[in-house]
């Protein structure tokens, strides 16, 4: 008998379409929450970004409502849904929900148990609160880029993943929401959450920032172990033009690697700053003797903290991920069957077969309003007037 999903019975109304809040609702849905995505009707759909069909796991397990929040009747329909919701998630620029009349205090007036989460780049207050931004900007202001190994021209690199959106924003919001739901279980009261992605980057960078605050040092690239100061924490090219990663921080792993590469003379000089360039040169020469996969096959199982640098196409067919059930299939009404990342976080339930995902433009508006107690005659009127879709 399948176990009950962790967030079964929790309803989330989500105004976001992309970015950190959409990452948040994806996680909540994969833990079993009923996520209702609230968007604009077709007549107003140009006001928001619509992600491509496969993004954010293609809306797997989510419902869709289209409401014109600027119409009084549309706003009233939203409040009917909010009366029985547990969470409202929004990612408008600070002040917009107040102007729309759907801010925390407005929702709280009809549902005192609501957990209302606002996600924004820089938070709801402060001199940067109205700045527009995206992932790269938040990593820039939070010190992440400045501590990353620079490009050949000396500039900070462009990260290969949206670290701020996914972790500093999306996971940040998830943690805050779950904590608020636990507090509500004790107090019976909801609360307002001000999730700043830039604040979340500070949390990701806390080890480095705390060092500066406590000691006055100025961390940057190659400042310490985790930013490339030492040869044992780096990437190296292989004979076939590919790359291998080395993260042999502990002395025993470093000694194992040195022995496997015939570089025993460097085992006792792991943290010797004076010879790091020499060690790197020897590691480059050693790794250039074999292909990436030959080295990975030899070293990864040998307690050396070595792993291949794979591209996305390669990892999609990786045996370890396959064994973990990391990928599943989705069926889209317009795009057919395709693979996607499964619910992979601990405690999420893996699907047993292909999962049907909603088609472009599909909505659950009428049924959800009906479930909220809105009479069919009123729903029909709203549909005919284009207030909902």
pLDDT in tens, 74-113: 999 999 999 999 999 999 999 999 999 999 999 999 999 9
Give the closest residue to 366 by CA, choosing from 381, 379, 377. Answer: 379
Q: For residue range 219-230, list pLDDT tens digits in order.
A: 999 999 999 999
pLDDT band at 43 (very low <50, low <70, confident <90, very high): confident
pLDDT at 49: 75
Same domain? For 170 and 277 the reply is no
What's the rounded mean pLDDT across residues 187-192? 98
* Structure tokens, 302: 């040998």
The answer to whether residue 227 is domain-embedded is: no
Looking at the structure, tell me whether residues 126 and 188 fall in a common domain. yes
Please, is 359 exposed, middle or buried when counting C-beta atoms within 10 Å of its C-beta (0-12, 13-18, 19+)?
Answer: middle
Position 330 in a domain: no
Is 149 in the same domain as 53? Answer: yes
Distance of alpha carbon 268 from alpha carbon 266, whole angstroms: 6
Return the axis-axis angle of helices 292-299 and 251-261, rounded to nearest 10°: 130
Last residue of a domain, one of 309, 341, 357: 309
Residues 187 and 237 in one domain: no
42: confidence class by pLDDT, cuts 50, 70, 90:
confident
Domain that holds residue 168: 11-203+349-384
Task: Taking residues 360-366, report their average pLDDT.
Answer: 91
CA pair distance 66, 76, nearest whole angstrom? 13
Q: Judge whether 142 and 179 are in contact, CB under 8 Å.
A: no
Is the residue at 44 inside a domain? yes
Straight-line distance from the first to the last Cα atom of the chain, in angstroms, rounded to the nearest whole number: 37
DSSP assignment of 238-301: -TTS-EEEEE--SHHHHHHHHHHHT-GGGGGGTT-GGGHHHHHHHHHHHHTTS-HHHHHHHHGG
What's the number of domains the chain is made of? 2
Same domain, 115 and 242: no
Percent of the chain with pLDDT over 90: 96
Residue with tokens 């790091």: 276
In this structure, the answer to whether residues 354 and 259 fall within a common structural domain is: no
108 and 197 co-located in one domain: yes
pLDDT score for 2:
72
The set of residues, in sequence order, having a beta carbon less than 8 Å from that of 157 and lying 6+ positions away, is 145, 148, 149, 150, 151
Lowest-confidence region among 7-16, 25-34, 308-317, 357-366: 357-366
With a pLDDT cut of 70, the percent of the chain lying above it is 98
Task: Look at residues 309, 339, 364 and tell me which one is the last residue of a structural domain.
Answer: 309
> Whole-prediction pTM value?
0.95
Residue positions annotated with a catalytic role: 134, 165
Distance from C-alpha of 145 to C-alpha of 149, rounded to nearest angstrom: 8
Q: Are residues 278 and 362 in the same domain?
A: no
**Do 361 and 305 share a structural domain?**
no
Q: What's the rounded mean pLDDT across residues 287-315?
A: 98
> pLDDT by residue (tens digit) across 105-162?
999 999 999 999 999 999 999 999 999 999 999 999 999 999 999 999 999 999 999 9
What's the burial of 214, exposed, middle or buried (CB within 10 Å: 0-12/13-18/19+)? exposed
Let me know whether 15 and 140 are in one domain. Answer: yes
Q: Are 44 and 93 in a shared domain?
A: yes
Sequential DSSP letters for 35-93: EEEEE--GGGGGGS----TTGGGGGTTEEEEEB-TTSHHHHHHHHHHHTT-SEEEE-PP
Q: So what's the pLDDT on residue 44?
A: 66
pLDDT of residue 48: 65
pLDDT over 60 (residue 47): no
Which CATH number fits the domain that encloses residue 38?
A: 3.40.50.10540
* Rounded Cα–Cα distance for residues 305 and 294 (Å): 15
Q: Evaluate whether residue 266 is within a structural domain.
A: yes
Q: Which one, of 224, 233, 225, lies nearest residue 283 by Cα?
A: 233
The mean per-residue pLDDT over the stretch 339-364 comes to: 94
One domain for residues 44 and 119: yes
Which pLDDT does position 361 carry in this prediction?
84
Tokens of 279: 């060690």
pLDDT at residue 300 greater than cutoff 80: yes
């Amino acid at each position: 008998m399948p176990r009950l999903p962790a967030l079964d019975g929790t309803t989330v109304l989500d105004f976001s379409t992309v970015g950190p809040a959409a990452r948040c609702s994806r996680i909540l849905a994969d833990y079993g929450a009923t996520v209702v995505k609230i968007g604009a009707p077709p007549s107003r759909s140009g006001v928001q970004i619509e992600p491509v069909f496969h993004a954010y796991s293609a809306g797997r397990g989510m419902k869709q409502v289209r409401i014109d929040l600027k119409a009084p009747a549309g706003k009233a329909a939203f409040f009917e849904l909010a009366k029985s919701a547990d969470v409202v998630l929004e990612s408008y620029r600070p002040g917009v929900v107040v102007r729309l009349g759907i801010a925390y205090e407005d929702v709280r007036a009809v549902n005192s148990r609501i957990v209302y989460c606002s996600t924004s780049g820089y938070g709801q207050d402060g001199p940067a609160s109205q700045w527009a931004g995206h992932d790269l900007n938040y990593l820039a202001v939070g010190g992440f880029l400045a501590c990353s190994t620079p490009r050949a021209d000396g500039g900070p690199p462009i990260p290969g993943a949206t670290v701020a959106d996914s972790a500093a924003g999306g996971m940040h919001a998830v943690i805050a929401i779950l904590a608020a739901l636990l507090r509500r279980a004790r107090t019976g009261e909801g609360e307002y959450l001000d999730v700043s992605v830039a604040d979340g980057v500070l949390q990701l960078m806390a080890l480095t920032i705390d060092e500066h605050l406590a000691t006055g040092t100025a961390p940057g690239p190659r400042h310490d172990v985790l930013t490339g100061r030492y040869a044992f924490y780096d990437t190296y090219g292989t004979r076939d033009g590919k790359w291998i990663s080395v993260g042999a921080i502990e002395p025993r792993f470093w000694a194992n690697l040195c022995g496997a590469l015939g570089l025993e003379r460097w085992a006792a000089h792991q943290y010797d700053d004076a010879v790091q360039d020499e060690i790197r040169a020897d590691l480059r020469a050693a790794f250039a003797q074999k292909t990436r996969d030959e080295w990975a096959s030899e070293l990864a199982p040998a307690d050396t903290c070595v792993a291949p640098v794979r591209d996305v196409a390669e990892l999609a067919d990786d045996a370890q991920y396959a064994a973990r059930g990391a990928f599943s299939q989705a069926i889209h009404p317009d795009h057919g069957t395709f693979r996607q990342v499964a619910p992979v976080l601990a405690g999420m339930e893996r699907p047993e077969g292909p999962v049907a995902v909603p088609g472009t433009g599909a909505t659950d508006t009428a049924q959800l309003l009906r479930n909220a107690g809105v009479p069919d005659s009123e729903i029909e009127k709203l549909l005919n007037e284009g207030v909902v879709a």
